[in-house]
Structure 1
Amino acid sequence: MDERRVKAGVLVIGDEILSGRTHDVNIRQIAQFLSPLGITLGEARIVSDDQDAIVEAVRALSARWDYVFTTGGIGPTHDDITADAIAAAFDRTIDVREDALGILREWYAKSGTELTPARLRMARIPDGASLIANPVTGAPGFQVENVFVLAGVPKIARGMLEDVAGRLRGGVVTQSLAVRLENVREGDIANRLGELADAMPDVSFGSYPWFQELPDGSLSRGVELVARSSDLAALEQAGEALKALAGHR
């Protein structure tokens, strides 16, 4: 672990996400997985099952961030085009690879399932890529340069991350604390919060309104203030300053 800032991008791929049919949880779980490793998310994008869109996004994210994680589009159906798009993004050929094929054969043999031509698509890996183990269904993901290609199903993606962790070089770990203020509106503390942000450049501040319905039907409200920093002394100071905001409205 070193003191440099390490950031990652996430690319969520799939028409089902953009249509609202499927709710994405991968951005959150990737962020939560990376945080203790000293890696924070700098950007997240969602694109459709369109090769040109995937290629464009992968190239941009790969150039901008230390690591990139894609989710979705590596299954057996016709619209699973992520592997081809990644190959195109890095100008690599792609075909069924023996190591990936061997993994699929072993998994399907255990369950007595036929390895159909459609399922063979999951053994198509860009040339030179490193495989990512899939402990849930066997079908591997892969890594090309700084891009890690994961499945879209959250449980599978989470399992794949375990194989990725050892390949990542983390930086300084960012810590956070939250202060919950009741009967406070954002407008009440906006100016003071802005002053704190200016005075403490090593701390990132966030403001998040909350609402809660009480048993009598009335509404309780307030603001949760969050401070984030890798400097623990500065973070502690920020926490005390946030608690004092309630008295400086």
Structure 2
Amino acid sequence: MSDIVTAGILVIGDEILSGRTKDQNIGFIAEYLTNIAIDPREVRVVADDEDAIVEALDALRGRYTYLFTTGGIGPTHDDITADCVAKAFGVGIGYHPEVVARFRERFSEAELNEARLRMARIPDGAELIQSATIIAPGFKIGNVIVMAGVPSIMQAMMDIVAPKLKSGVKMLSDTVRANAREGDIGGPLRAIAAAHPETMIGSYPFLDEDRKPNTNLVVRSRDPEKLQRAMGAVKQMLAELNVTK
């Protein structure tokens, strides 16, 4: 539990890059992982291109504790994620007998065509991610978790795989409303961040209830005492700023 556990997120699909489909998975996965003490560190979006997918798989799975992918495991010709994962790991791929048996229970012989059977092709040695409500499974191989692109199915897969993942020390956070614009506090906030290097301090502008520019300041740390000291410095800075206005 003392280790920092990290994750990359790989979104696969021409439809995401073209804007035809609006991604709903990145934010969900990032928040989900943060809540179970896994740090999302990088997100990539790649086309339905074998070379691009394999390159991204190799780069991200070697860099982070886990790599989560979404998209490209459906029945159409451009759903090539499973093949790319098999290529990246240097293993074979074939029709998983358990998945084929489930399909035969669900579909008639006429319905169980070549396209649907594509969804039963799983890299050798992979562990299925499935449940009674998920017809076509995802899978986990090594540190790569391969999930559907459809948000509701992906979310169900996250619930299945999450209990089996290791987690680290949870990132703590505290937020204060600045009642100031970002430009008013940028200088002193930079000094506070430099004085508290083991914390992360972010500023997030918004329009308040009076439609005026305002800022939320967020301090993050795994150490509660360091978090408290940095937030104390932020609040003191804000108090002094308000006094001098």
Which of the numbers 177, 202, 224 marks the counterpart of 2:198?
A: 202
CA offset at residue 213 of structure 1?
A: 6.8
CA offset at residue 3 of structure 1?
A: 1.1
Q: How does 1:84-103 map to 2 (within 5 A)?
A: 84-103=83-102
Aligned to 2:217: 225
Which of the numbers 120, 124, 127 marks the counterpart of 2:124?
A: 127
How high is the sequence identity, in percent, across the aligned residues?
A: 49
Q: TM-score, length-normalised on structure 1?
A: 0.91
1:245 aligns with 2:242: no
Distance, in Å, in 2 between the alignment partners of 1:128 and 1:104 is 20
Distance, in Å, in 1 between the alignment partners of 2:25 and 2:131 is 16
CA offset at residue 113 of structure 1?
A: 8.4
Amino acid at match of 1:195: A
Aligned to 1:118: 115
Amino acid at match of 1:127: D
CA offset at residue 244 of structure 1?
A: 2.7
Distance, in Å, in 2 between the alignment partners of 1:32 and 1:135 is 26
Tell me the C-alpha RMSD between the 2 structures: 1.8
Amino acid at match of 1:210: F
- Tell whether the 8 Å contact from 1:135 to 1:156 is kept in structure 2 after alignment: no
CA offset at residue 246 of structure 1?
A: 2.4
Q: How does 1:1-249 map to 2 (within 5 A)?
A: 2-108=1-107, 114-134=111-131, 136-182=133-179, 184-212=180-208, 214=210, 219-249=211-241
- Tell whether the 8 Å contact from 1:12 to 1:47 is kept in structure 2 after alignment: yes
Unpaired runs of at least 5, structure 2? none
CA offset at residue 38 of structure 1?
A: 1.4
Post-superposition CA distance 1:167-192 (Å, at most 9, x none): 2111101011211222x221211111
In structure 2, the CA distance between the partners of 1:9 and 1:113, relative to structure 1 (3 Å rule), is farther
Count of residues paired in the alignment:
241
Give the secondary-structure state (helix, strand or coil) at the position aligned to 1:169.
coil
Post-superposition CA distance 1:134-164 (Å, at most 9, x none): 5543210011100000000111101001111
- Bigger mean CA deviation after superposition, 203-212 or 146-155: 203-212
Distance, in Å, in 2 between the alignment partners of 1:224 and 1:170 is 28
Unpaired runs of at least 5, structure 1? none
Q: TM-score, length-normalised on structure 2?
A: 0.92
Distance, in Å, in 2 between the alignment partners of 1:247 and 1:64 is 42
